[in-house]
A and B are shown apart, each in its own frame.
Chain A
Amino acid sequence: MHPADEQILKVNGLSKSFFGVKALDNIHFDLKRGEVHALMGENGAGKSTFMKILIGLLKADAGSISFNSEQIENMDVHSIMQKGISMIHQEILMVPDLSVAQNIFLGREIKRAYLLDELAINQQAENLLLSMGLNINVRTKAKNLSIAELQLIEIAKAVSNNARVIIMDEPSSALSEKEVEILFNTIKDLKSKGVAIIYISHKMEEIYQIADRITVLRDGKYITTKHTAELDKSSLISLMVGRELEELFSASSTAQQEVILKVKNLNTKGKFSDINFEVYAGEVLGIAGLMGAGRTEIARAIFGLDSFESGEIMLKGKKLKIRSPKDAIREGIGYVSEDRKALGFIPELSVKQNISLSSILNYSKAWFINEKKEEKASSKIAQQLNIKASGLNQKVMNLSGGNQQKVVIARVLMAYPSLIILDEPTRGIDIGAKQEIYKLIRQLTETGLAVIMISSELPEILGMSNRVLVLSKGKQKTILTQKEASQEKIMQYALH
């Protein structure tokens, strides 16, 4: 019925920049009817930007997308969905208090003389689920179903929308083995009906089990497209990570013998388990792992943002009892969050006020702030960190991402930490500011500061770390020395 090589989607020369940084650079991609096409790449390779453009959430700067020989690159989300491209998002987007049937027909309810025809809605939803081999009561509220069931219902919803292309972004991340099997059966069924699937996953085994072809993206660039059979796992990994180390980094030799932080058997059910490591004075300990591996969760636990269930944290030989970030800061731990906007700075406060926020007690007497002292101290560190602002009184919300990040780092340093945790310190900032932050990290370690650096960018991890701790699914896989560590090795442990 459907010739297997019939092209349904064709993408040519797609490019997209954010604030001058190229997120996608001349991407090519094609999709055939009834095919499962895996899209592979590291975090930040451009997969999600690409998919957002495909479904109309973002506009490309250049390039064309043709779907069933119709140009769709300028259409909005709604029209593209009507044309037949649907995306199953990582987070389920269902209204918890509506029934399965009501969710499936949300936004295109069946009506009878201006009133909802619940009977027809239920009937049609039931037929739809049955046709996909799903045995779910359509009158159940969405909140009472498992994530796997919700995901399958999302797929059913896409099918009932006459989707010809379904994009699945990490669909199995929350599923048990058995549920993955159901998902794969559904995918096979869809294939036989001629539906094409773009499958995004970090799980190698799944890719080799389900995908017909694989396209690799790296740093926003198109690398290659191959039939799954032509590409073995190790070549795939090297295609995903294989880039030259840029001249951004300088080797460190300042690691000392003194243990600053010792983490013993740290555990929180569902987040991470049996985490054990030490950080030495003057050292950068890199923490690598895929999204959801538990990197940020561990940092939050050490910093007191979240509590942990069991384990010990010791700083300079002293066992800590940390109940809040306030405690952590007092003990000498600093944290620069991956989510600058949410946890980094106060947008309405000035550069000076943000910088002094964690250490304001040092610039006050009997509740009153000594503004001269505050100004002097923050102006000094603003200069050291080369913060570019119209003045210390400029609001931080009006600064560039790189300068906002420097303000956050300045705030953390002003509290005189002996350990700082940098979580994705260079995310979303331009290359110049990146280099400055790398230089700063070096300067800090030279003064004996211990640094934990969490990053998704492997070159950054390799270039900056004395040792690299690799996490996978909340478990500590290994700690590699600088000599042992390589992109391939880290990816192997991280994907394990």
Chain B
Amino acid sequence: MHYIKNLRQYGIFIVFGIICLIISFITPQFLTVSNWTIIITQVSINALLAFGVTFVIITGGIDLSLGSIVAVAGVSAAMLAHPDSYPVLVPVFAGLFAGLLIGAFNGFIITKSKIAPFIVTLGTMTIGRGLALILSNGRPVSNLSDSFVFIGSGKIMGIPVLIVILIVMFILCSLILNRTILGRYIYAVGGNEQAARASGINVTQVKMTVYSVSGLLAGLAGILLTSRITTGQPNAGAGFELDAIAAVVIGGTSTTGGKGSIAGTLIGVLLIGVINNSLDLLNVTSYYQQVVMGIIIIGAVVLDSMNQKSNS
């Protein structure tokens, strides 16, 4: 019994393994270094967004403004990244700062007004999109410096910079969630907000932090995307928040809060990437890919809720 329970707990990891195994039998190109480099590079931006929103979802919240933050951060960075204008750190910091600012704004409104995070971030999503259009005058910002473009397409010791950033962020976010006081408080607030407060936790501070972190990581994602496509697009990132949330949910994080993990989220992100990649390899049109993805999202949550019922 105990064995089966443990198996269930790691359900998504096992499902991921099985799917990879099956695909590798069908398409021999799948299990090659070059193919996996493509997969991981493709999912890296979604991964950063998903890591950030994992924190938010574990506290029982949601962040729908991610895609718009990507656009605002991307446009802001691009505007400062023209050749011979500023050192590359300036546009990077500008992008990160824009993300942090919008995230902190989300956290501030949510904790002060007690309005549902869904509504607040839905508002910020629209505001953010508008800001990106205003900043760029509605036009793509191009002509970016080589050093800025390097971030999204360069390699360090043969490894794409995107993948290096992904690995660093994965380790950092896992450490925060598993080893720090903040991580413990995030689980506590999501598990039972009232009890967390009665245990002496500053709930407002915890929520402010998770929305700020989510914004910051979305800002980073915006910089990476801009660098990769070599333009700051005011319309970039639309709908990205839904992919990120889907990955988090597939990864076993409960939308009611209190449980979840960064490792699960990474698997969720990779699963989405692998499915899209293999359907590409099998020449399945992208229309079908969307249907498959939807089925997987619902299937993951159904599995999870069945798991919960059998536990209680």
Contact = CB atoms under 8 A, between A and B. Distances in A.
A324 B197 contact: yes
A346 B197 CA distance: 11
Interface string B170-194: 0000000001111010011011101
B180 A335 contact: no
5 contacts: A305-B198, A324-B202, A345-B195, A348-B187, A397-B312
A344 B181 contact: no
Contacts of A305: 197-198
A357 B180 contact: no
B175 to A, nearest CB: 8
A348 B184 contact: no
A360 B188 CA distance: 12
A98 interface: no
B293 interface: no
A487 B184 CA distance: 45
Nearest to B190: A348
Interface in A243-269: none
A335 B198 CA distance: 8
Nearest to A411: B199
B252 to A, nearest CB: 13
Contact of A349 (B180, B181, B191): B191
Nearest to A367: B180
B179 A368 contact: yes
Contacts of A337: 198
A415 B198 CA distance: 13
A496 B194 CA distance: 34
Contact of B195 (A326, A330, A344, A369): A344
Contact of A369 (B184, B194, B197, B258): B184
A347 interface: yes
A349 B190 CA distance: 10
Interface in A293-343: 303, 305, 324-326, 328-330, 335, 337, 342-343
B191 A346 contact: yes
Contacts of A353: 184, 187
Contacts of B184: 353, 357, 360, 369
Interface residues of A, number: 31
B200 A347 contact: no
Contact of B192 (A346, A364, A415): A346
Most buried by A among B181, B187, B198: B198
Interface centre among A305, A348, A371, by most B CB within 10 Å?
A348
Contact of A358 (B187, B190, B200): B200
Contacts of B194: 342-343
Nearest to B182: A367
A349 B188 contact: yes
A361 interface: yes
A330 B181 CA distance: 17
A364 B200 contact: no
| Nearest 10 pairs of A and B residues by beta carbon | A346-B191, A329-B200, A348-B258, A348-B191, A326-B200, A343-B198, A357-B199, A367-B180, A358-B200, A358-B199
Contacts of A335: 198
B207 interface: no
B259 interface: yes
A346 B202 contact: no
Contacts, number: 76
B181 A360 contact: yes
A325 B195 contact: no
B196 A326 contact: no
B201 interface: yes
A164 to B, nearest CB: 40
A347 B198 CA distance: 14
Interface of A: 303, 305, 324-326, 328-330, 335, 337, 342-349, 353, 357-358, 360-361, 364, 367-369, 371, 397, 411, 415
A349 B186 CA distance: 11
B78 to A, nearest CB: 34
A347 B257 CA distance: 11
B210 to A, nearest CB: 15
Contacts of A329: 199-200
A324 B196 CA distance: 12
B196 A346 contact: yes
Given A348-B258, A369-B184, A342 B195 contact: yes
Contact of A361 (B179, B181, B190): B181
A326 B201 contact: yes
Nearest to B202: A326
Nearest to A366: B180
A397 B311 CA distance: 11
A374 to B, nearest CB: 10
A367 B192 contact: no
Nearest to B198: A343
A371 B198 CA distance: 23
Contacts of B192: 342, 345-347
A349 B196 CA distance: 11
Given A325-B197, A348-B187, 7 more contacts: A326-B201, A326-B202, A343-B194, A346-B187, A349-B188, A353-B184, A357-B201
Nearest to B183: A369
A325 B198 CA distance: 6
A364 to B, nearest CB: 5
A326 B198 CA distance: 8
A346 B188 contact: yes
A444 B70 CA distance: 56
For A335, A337, A368, the residue with the greatest tally of chain B CB atoms inside 10 Å of its CB is A368
Nearest to B189: A346
A344 B194 CA distance: 8
A371 B182 CA distance: 14
Contacts of A369: 179-181, 184
Interface in B193-233: 194-202
Contacts of A349: 187-188, 191
A325 B179 contact: no
A205 to B, nearest CB: 37
